[in-house]
Structure 1
Amino acid sequence: MVLTTASLDAVGLGLVLPILPALLGQVGSAASTIPMHVGLLTALYAVMQFLCAPVLGRLSDRFGRRRVLLASLAGATVDYLILALTSSLWVFYVARAVAGITGATNAVTATVIADVTPPAERAKRYGWLGACYGGGMIAGPVIGGLFGGFSPHLPFLVAALLTAVNLTLSLSMLHETRPDLPIKSQESASTSAPFRLQAIQGVVPLIAAFGLVQLIGQAPGSTWVLFTQQRLDWSPVEVGISLSLFGLVQVLVQAVLTGRVVTRLGETGTIYLGIVADASGLIGLAFVTGSWAMMPILAALGVGGITVPALQTLLSQRTPEQHQGRLQGHLASLNSLTSILGPIAFTTIFALSQIDADGTLWFCAAALYIPCAILVTRNARSSG
């Protein structure tokens, strides 16, 4: 059920992308202001996830995972209905803010996986979680574009229906994975000082490495269209096909390869492999001159997707069970923060270098793996 929830969260984020300009036009926005509103609404969603993911994580530690997930699904269902029916711009802003809050459940779903999965199997399960999210991000724009052709409001009705079905199934099938957690949390709150993740040896460097990897991932996500249209003269159709292929490769790698690679190389070895693969793909983009050369680059970037599940596994293994929600909340919040800062940083780099050196942004992104590798290496030495 939690994998289904993760998929639907991603669908909800992705389906609005192709229909947002038309929807803003219908609610009365002037054509000249639509780009501004698109940027503000996208940022608003990410900001609310950044602020609320740690809160949901802590709430799940205190009150249980099931209650938080059910409340979020109920809120998301109502929110989608409002988005489908509203004809007011300010209501749309409020609804997107609520969508950011209810969409912050990825912290809780990751916590559920930590609750029910032995440490040796967590990388595989986190790979599945990433694959579900990636699949939802592929399906979301398809749903939005398909049903948005009839009406910009219709995709939200579809999303509301899917979320309501998920809520109904969760009510009967989703069980609390930590039934003793509220008692333990209350006892610890009354008998000890507030818990801080920084107190766990090795967690802070790994969280920093996690943030760097997520930030690097924003480079292709934010500049792919701009770069491929300029360097390779791709049409919108070719760009769309390449993005779909990239998404499918990442989904397959995370769903199929992550667990096997971790079994053979261990979490730290898997992180190194992911760093090398992704950095190679980024550097390859700086030199690419033809469409066919993009195939091995897409494969390398796809293999780089194993880094995040391996890091997430190391972090979950270091953190006490009763504080898994807090950890995953911080990770989800950090991911949201990079989705705000990354596009600004990398599109700015591209804008400043596109005339004479449009590959600069890929070198900058790959260079961020140097401190990331140092952090992981220091962690491995200190824990070894």
Structure 2
Amino acid sequence: MPTTQYSPEAARRVVRVVILALILDLLSFTMPWDFVRQEAGRVHSAPTLLSRTLECVRTLRAYLLPSTSSSTRSSASRWDLTLLGGLLASLFSFCQFLISPRLGKLSDRFGRRRVLLGTMVGNVLSALLWLFAGNFAIYAASRIVGGLSEGNVQLSIAAISDVTTPETRARSLALVGAAFSLAFTFGPSLGAYLSTRTFGKGSIVHLPSKLASAFPFLPPTIQLNSYAVPAAMTVVLLSLETLFLYLCLLETRDWKISTMPASSPSEAKSTRPSSRPVRSPAARQARLRSLSRLHLLFLFFFSGAEFTLTFLTHNLFDWSNAQNGRLLGFIGILSALLQGGYVRRKAKGASAEQTARMAMSGMQACAGSLVALALLPLVAKAKGEAALAKGLLWSAAAGLAFVSATVVNSLNALASLETDEDDMATKLEERIDKGHVLGSFRSAGQLGRAVGPLATTAIYWTVSPTAAYAVCAVGVALVVRGMRGIVRDEWRRGITFKEE
């Protein structure tokens, strides 16, 4: 496949475009979709999909946690809606698990830019479904459409991997993590503010006469849901993102960075990565499978602990949504600062071994934070230890911020490095398709995110919070052991390369 030579400045421009677009995408994603809470409060003459779903959730909650059966109606409703929100998030992640490899394969065939613009159409459609959702069924459909069309994250990682060298890869991918942290910190606040606004009395939209005459099958008036303003802002953000990508993003699939004309074999050779010895495609495929397993297992345990954190603070300290918001905001802001500062400095010119060590250090911090959370209920119940318990909570939160800043970005960088030796392959069947590989890698992580919260919540409610976090801590410790093997292998490869 022919490649196109580009300057390093063009590569930096692509990274800037991708990150700005990703921030718009994630801001639109992280606004709270309060339609479920609003719809749950309505009185319907006949059973609805939401009422049936909530009834199933109540039955599950009563089975897993019988003590909540005697709770007040408002308290029990809060449990039900929180669990339902987790189920919807798991549904979204499961859709991502299904579609990510296919989107990656399409991007290898048709290009990152074209497929990314195609997925943006699906994202806008998802937001429009939410905007005009008159019932929970349409809202759930919008989540499914959004999950099956959300390709911005994986295609952004693929595009950045296309235009960066192995030495600058981890540093650039740290910006992806920073975009996540910023969006998940400020997006919910923006959505909460917009949810207090309406389009006017009744939120009724009258179609223009010309549009109504051109499409007679459309109703002359459309009733919007009461939380349509955040949905409308989502439509605006996604539309701006689509236009921005169309105007500014270059195709990166066949990209090759060059600081000189590649007119001779020696000059072309100088553009190849020189920091790692060449391995066979079979060895690289085996490494990718190992990384995918670690990615799945880590996110299984981490996302489960992350989802139940607000349950823990509510049970132990009776924290409100605002107090939990401050805790999550602290984690997000600290994570963004770490990724924009510490992680980017450490990742500058980092070798594969150093990147693997950063991932392992984040996993070790995760295990330590989970141990702290496992001990927290025991400390909180001790007399006179309230201050110590809250100190332990905030220390664990700081550890989780470090985890968010290091692990997934480093794993993404390691996976992308295994696709950088394609030009060494002598046969077409030996080549590794970057988009498909990174899509499959993300798919594994999304499966962990889909199942982890459900499994951890079940342990949390049926056994105890201490048991749930202890299981997660042991699980992450086993993942650390697997990561240590990759660090050792990269160290040996580096020694072999130096000897050669």
Q: TM-score with structure 1 length normalisation?
A: 0.87
Contact 1:56 1:68 in 2 (8 A): yes
Contact 2:112 2:253 in 1 (8 A): yes
SS state at 2:176 partner: helix
Residue 348 (structure 1) aligned with residue 439 (structure 2)? no
Higher normalized helix content (fraction of residues): 1
SS state at 1:200 partner: helix
SS state at 1:319 partner: coil
Equivalent residue for 2:444?
Answer: 334
Distance (Å, rounded) in 2 between the aligned partners of 1:338 and 1:246 = 21
1:187-266 mapped onto 2 (5 Å cutoff): 200-263=285-348, 266=354
Structure 2 residue identity aligned to 1:324: K
Equivalent residue for 1:171?
Answer: 246
1:149-164 mapped onto 2 (5 Å cutoff): 149-150=196-197, 151-164=226-239
Residue 282 (structure 1) aligned with residue 370 (structure 2)? yes
Equivalent residue for 2:195?
Answer: 148
Distance (Å, rounded) in 2 between the aligned partners of 1:114 and 1:75 = 24
Relative to structure 1, the CA distance from residue 77 to residue 198 in structure 2 (aligned partners, 3 Å threshold; closer, same or farther) is farther
SS state at 1:139 partner: helix
Counterpart selection for 2:401 from 281, 284, 302: 302
Query: Mean alpha-carbon deviation: is it higher for 290-299 or for 27-36?
Result: 27-36
Q: CA RMSD in A?
A: 2.7
SS state at 2:391 partner: coil
Relative to structure 1, the CA distance from residue 57 to residue 27 in structure 2 (aligned partners, 3 Å threshold; closer, same or farther) is farther
Equivalent residue for 2:495?
Answer: none
Equivalent residue for 1:63?
Answer: 110
Structure 1 residue identity aligned to 2:439: G
Distance (Å, rounded) in 1 between the aligned partners of 2:391 and 2:486 = 39
Contact 1:53 1:107 in 2 (8 A): yes
Equivalent residue for 1:317?
Answer: 417
SS state at 2:189 partner: helix
Distance (Å, rounded) in 2 between the aligned partners of 1:30 and 1:271 = 42
Q: Which has the larger radius of gyration?
A: 2
Report the Cα offset of residue 345 of structure 1.
0.9
Residue 15 (structure 1) aligned with residue 31 (structure 2)? yes
Counterpart selection for 2:355 from 246, 267, 278: 267
Uncovered stretches (5+) of structure 2, i.e. residues with no partner: 1-16, 58-83, 198-225, 257-280, 381-388, 423-431, 493-500
Structure 2 residue identity aligned to 1:173: C
SS state at 1:293 partner: helix
Report the Cα offset of residue 88 of structure 1.
4.5
Relative to structure 1, the CA distance from residue 130 to residue 95 in structure 2 (aligned partners, 3 Å threshold; closer, same or farther) is same
Contact 1:65 1:178 in 2 (8 A): yes
Identity of aligned residues (%): 24
Residue 370 (structure 1) aligned with residue 477 (structure 2)? yes
Contact 1:19 1:145 in 2 (8 A): no
Contact 2:21 2:244 in 1 (8 A): no
Distance (Å, rounded) in 1 between the aligned partners of 2:254 and 2:288 = 26
Relative to structure 1, the CA distance from residue 326 to residue 74 in structure 2 (aligned partners, 3 Å threshold; closer, same or farther) is same
Q: TM-score with structure 2 length normalisation?
A: 0.68
SS state at 2:488 partner: helix
Equivalent residue for 2:97?
Answer: 50
